[in-house]
A and B are shown apart, each in its own frame.
Chain A
Amino acid sequence: MTIGHTLLGLLEEAGPRHGYDLKRAFDQRFGHDRPLHYGQVYSTMSRLLKNGLVEVDGIEAGGGPERKRYAITDAGITDVAGWLTTPEKPEPYLSSTLYTKVVLALLTGRDAAELLDTQRAEHLRLMRELTKRKRSGELADQLICDHALFHLEADLRWLELTTARLDKLAAEVRA
């Protein structure tokens, strides 16, 4: 999963935030198994700042270190949009990235069904390639293709199920 894109998406959804708030939002929505380290958040935000995808919206001085409030730039919004509309390279264990994309698409008012269909087409394209390769391959090659095909099929089932539950998911994430 691309942490940078996810943090950008969260900034787009909720407006300017501090790094600490971004970490909390990330962990709450996507970090069930692996919450972000503070270091990851700040190094990612520095990179996004350097690349012009976020800007400093304000600095608060307090008892401790200065706290920067970040805002997404137009370039950042374009970057998130590009990431959301580009299908992932089909590979096993994609679900956490796809889930993140779907939730962010819903949160930012984009077409999550379109995103899922685009991904579905990309998965089927690879499945067609593997099926063609199987036809002419030897048994060992066929078995390797089969392994990939079963994983892709599992992803596709998840895509179908998520498409069927999109309305419910939209209601939950927007609640």
Chain B
Amino acid sequence: MTTSLLTATGLRKIYSGTPALDGADFAIRAGETVAVMGPSGSGKSTLLHCLAGIVPPDEGTITYEGRELSAMSDGERSALRRSRFGFVFQFGQLVPELTCVENVALPLRLTGLGRREAERAARPWLERLEVDDVAHHRPGEISGGQGQRVAVARALATTPRVIFADEPTGALDSLNGERVMELLTAAARETSAAVVLVTHEARVAAYADREIVVRDGRTRSLEPAS
């Protein structure tokens, strides 16, 4: 049996008296892509934020490589997010003042690399995501599809073990969305990164290896019949 890389058990998270998570469980293995689906407000983004150590759950445990996130200091959790986790959001959230290559180099610089070295390491990721030609453009000068590929390149630049993607194609048309998913999942496979993919689109979820559904703050695994 393959050991899970990231595991969550019995997660509860309450916002203003309303449970966003109400006993959610989750597990993902290295190199696996899991789609997290569910209606709006079902708790899927909250689940992602808890798994990534961005917000702490009120109850339940999350372990990464056997270590409980709650047992780590803030500094350790931040270091984990910087070095082991990558993030892609619906809107790329690129820094508008920086060029694309500077954006991709940013997480590398946060791990201590110098500017030149970080930008040199960033270039192959821009090539891999087929946006090398806009390396010196700023986010405002490129299309939404290109911007999202730059965001994926940025998420991959530190070769994270887990990529958290929250509606990564939500702002794109079908063709651009598919290209982003093809590139993201192919790059994740090559680097053996796990992907937690939050989406409400079935066509996007179909890029994952399996699916879990979040309803009313609870998770349900739907293993395909075979």
Tell whether A152 is near chain B: CB-to-CB under 8 Å: yes
A125 in contact with B207 (CB, 8 Å): no
B225 in contact with A130 (CB, 8 Å): no
Tell whether B203 is near chain A: CB-to-CB under 8 Å: yes
Nearest-neighbor residue (CB-CB) of A131 within chain B: B206
The winner among B201, B206, B209, B211 for most chain A CB atoms within 10 A is: B206
A contacts with B, residue count (CB < 8 A): 22
B222 in contact with A120 (CB, 8 Å): yes
Q: Which residues of A lie under 8 Å from residue B209 when comparing CB positions?
A: 128
A153 in contact with B203 (CB, 8 Å): yes
B202 in contact with A125 (CB, 8 Å): no
A121 in contact with B206 (CB, 8 Å): no
Q: Give the residue of A118, A127, A131, A157 whose beta carbon is less than 8 angstroms from that of B225.
A: A118
A108-128 contacts to B, CB under 8 A, are: 117-118, 120-125, 127-128
Tell whether A156 is near chain B: CB-to-CB under 8 Å: yes
Q: Which residues of B lie under 8 Å from residue A152 when comparing CB positions?
A: 202
Nearest-neighbor residue (CB-CB) of B223 within chain A: A121
B224 in contact with A122 (CB, 8 Å): yes
A136-168 contacts to B, CB under 8 A, are: 149-150, 152-153, 156-157, 160, 164
Q: How many A-B residue pairs have CB under 8 A?
A: 49
Q: A117-B213, A164-B39 are in contact. Are A128 and B222 (CB under 8 A)?
A: no
Q: Which residues of B lie under 8 Å from residue A87 when comparing CB positions?
A: 225
Q: Which residues of A lie under 8 Å from residue B220 when comparing CB positions?
A: 117
A124 in contact with B225 (CB, 8 Å): no
A63-122 contacts to B, CB under 8 A, are: 87, 117-118, 120-122
Docked pose: A153 CA to B177 CA in angstroms: 15
Q: Which residues of B lie under 8 Å from residue A150 when comparing CB positions?
A: 203
B39 in contact with A127 (CB, 8 Å): no
Docked pose: A64 CA to B39 CA in angstroms: 56
Docked pose: A123 CA to B220 CA in angstroms: 16
Q: Which residues of B lie under 8 Å from residue A164 when comparing CB positions?
A: 39
B39 in contact with A160 (CB, 8 Å): yes
Expressed in whole angstroms, the minimum distance between the Cβ of B175 and any Cβ of chain A is 10
Expressed in whole angstroms, the minimum distance between the Cβ of A6 and any Cβ of chain B is 23
Docked pose: A44 CA to B213 CA in angstroms: 39
A124 in contact with B202 (CB, 8 Å): yes
Expressed in whole angstroms, the minimum distance between the Cβ of A116 and any Cβ of chain B is 11
Q: Which residues of B lie under 8 Å from residue A157 when comparing CB positions?
A: 202
Tell whether B205 is near chain A: CB-to-CB under 8 Å: yes
Tell whether A34 is near chain B: CB-to-CB under 8 Å: no
Q: Give the residue of B202, B203, B222 whose beta carbon is less than 8 angstroms from that of A117.
A: B222
Q: A130-B206, A149-B203, A149-B206 are in contact. Are A124 and B222 (CB under 8 A)?
A: yes
Tell whether B182 is near chain A: CB-to-CB under 8 Å: yes
- What are 23 A-B pairs with beta-carbon distances under 8 A? A120-B213, A121-B211, A121-B222, A121-B223, A121-B224, A121-B225, A124-B206, A124-B211, A124-B224, A125-B225, A125-B226, A127-B206, A128-B207, A130-B206, A131-B203, A131-B206, A149-B203, A152-B202, A153-B201, A153-B202, A156-B202, A157-B202, A164-B39
